[in-house]
Chains A and B, each alone.
Chain A
Amino acid sequence: MSFGSPWFTLPEFTYHKPKTLKEALELLDKYGEEAKVMAGGVGLLAFMKERLMAPSHVIDLKGVPELGQAIYKEGEGLTIGATVTLNELARYGPLKKFGALHDAVRDIADPIIRNRATLVGNLCEAIPWVDTPPALIALGAEVEIRSLKGERRVPVKDFIKGPVEIDLEPGELVTAVHVPEPRRNSRSRFIKYNTGSEFALVSVAANVVMDGGRVRDVSLVYGAVSSTPQVAVKAADALKSAEKPWEVLDEVGRIASEEVEAVSDVLASEEYRRHLIRVLTLRVLREVMG
C-alpha cells in the first residue's frame, strides 16, 4: 500500500454543503462544468480516486431536506428525491406497488453500498449494466430536472443518451425521479442474470397490462446488453396481437433476442447475451402474466 497511490487519495476540491435547493442551484449555476454534485458519493468518489473525474467543486446535496424524500400519492405515483438511498427506498412500503423497481432496488450491489448509493445517482451514472434504468423505463418513469432558469421533465428512456452520457446541461440538477401510478390490471417485474461478477450480463424489466386472457399493453426493456437500455418493440407487438398470449411466449422471446442491440464484451459474447435475452424474456413474462 502506498499513501501516494491515487486510489488512496482524492484530487483537491472545494466542498459545499448547501442547506436549500435554491442555494444548491446557485452553486451549480456559478461553477457549471467545474462542479459535480454528490449524494451518496459511492460512484463519484470512486471515479475521483481513479482520476476519471476531478471537479474543483463538490456540492454535497445531503443537507437539502426536500431532496431526501420519497413520496407516494395514490393516483399520481411515486416521487423519489435525489438523495434517497437505495436502502431507504427498499424500506419504503409503497415501493411494492412498483414491482419491477422493487425487484431492481433490493438486489443492487450489497447492503452496505445500498446504505449510501441513491436511485438518482445509479440512474445518472448511466453505466450500461446498472439495474434501475430498465425497471424505470418499463414503468414509464420521468426525470425531474431543475436549474435557476426553470424546470423540465424528461422520460428516463430519453434521459440516457449513451454510455455514461445523460441529457443534463451544466447548471442543471436532477432533483427527483417520478414513477407514475401503475395502470389497472398491470404487473411488473425485473430479473437479472449474473455469474461471479455482481454486474448483470443481461437484465430485463417487463410491465404488462392484462385484459381478460389477452395482453392489452406490454413494455419489455433490457439492460446490460448494449451501451444503453434497449426496448423491444416488435416483441411487445407480437404479444399484444396474440389471441392466446400464453402460447406465443417462446416466439416473443425469440423476436426480442433478434430485435435488440447486443454486444460482446469481457463478460459475455453477443451470442450468449441473445440466448439469455430469450430465456429471461420467457421467465419474466411467465411471472408478470401469471
Chain B
Amino acid sequence: MEIEFTLNGVRKRVQVEPNELLLNVLREKLYMTGTKYGCGIGECGACTVLLDGEPVLSCLVLAADVDGREVTTIEGLARGEELDEVQKAFVEEGAVQCGFCTPGFIITAKSLLMENPNPSEEEVREYIKGNLCRCTGYMNIVKAILRAAGVIPQTP
C-alpha cells in the first residue's frame, strides 16, 4: 500500500507493507537513521518521534497509521547548521555518552518544552521516565533539559 506523509516538513510518498512499522520505514526506506531501534517493544524510548507534534514510539506505530500525518525525527530539529536549543544544551552539558538514547531523549525533551516551557526538575524527571539511558547519564540529561528551558543559566 502507498502512504503519503510529511517528514520533517517534506512531503514523502512511500510504498509500505501493512506489517511494516514506522521505525523500519524511517530507517530503511527513507534513510533517516537518527531514530534508533532499541528494545523494539516499547520499553526504552530510543525510537521516539513526534507524530502530529506528540511523542510516540515509532517501534509500536504501523507505517500505515501515519498516512496523511506529520512526523518529526531528530533530523528535523536543526535549522541547517544551527542546532536546536535542546541539542545545544545536550552538547553543552555533556549529556551524551554513547549517544544511542540521545535522539529519543531530545525528541521527548522537545515535546516537554513545547507543552511546559518552564518545567521543574521533578517535572523533567517524570516526563522522561519512559526514556532509558543504559550509560545511566541521567544527571546531565536532566541538567541539559533544564538548561534548554532557561531554568539553569548558561555557564560561560
Contacts and interface: CB of A to CB of B under 8 A. Distances in A.
Given A14-B18, A49-B41, A111-B55, A116 B130 contact: no
A9 interface: yes
Nearest to A15: B18
Interface in B121-144: 126-127, 129-131
Interface stretch (A39-47, A67-75, A170-178): A39-47
A31 to B, nearest CB: 14
A8 B24 contact: yes
A7 B57 contact: no
Nearest to B112: A111
B48 interface: yes
B123 to A, nearest CB: 10
A49 B60 CA distance: 9
Most chain A beta carbons < 10 A, residue from B37, B60, B62, B108: B60
Given A46-B60, A60-B65, A113 B18 contact: no
Interface string A199-210: 000000000000
B33 to A, nearest CB: 12
Contact of B40 (A8, A87, A113, A116): A8
B54 A45 contact: no
Contacts of B48: 112
A113 B65 CA distance: 16
Given A8-B24, A11-B19, A46-B41, A115 B62 contact: no
A103 to B, nearest CB: 15
A12 B19 contact: yes
B56 interface: yes
B19 A115 contact: no
Contacts of A12: 17-19
B143 to A, nearest CB: 20
A237 interface: no
Interface string B32-76: 000001011110010010000011110011101100000000000
15 contacts: A7-B41, A8-B24, A10-B19, A10-B20, A46-B41, A46-B42, A58-B18, A62-B65, A112-B55, A112-B57, A112-B131, A113-B42, A113-B130, A116-B60, A116-B61
Interface of B: 1, 17-21, 24, 37, 39-42, 45, 48, 54-57, 60-62, 64-65, 108, 126-127, 129-131
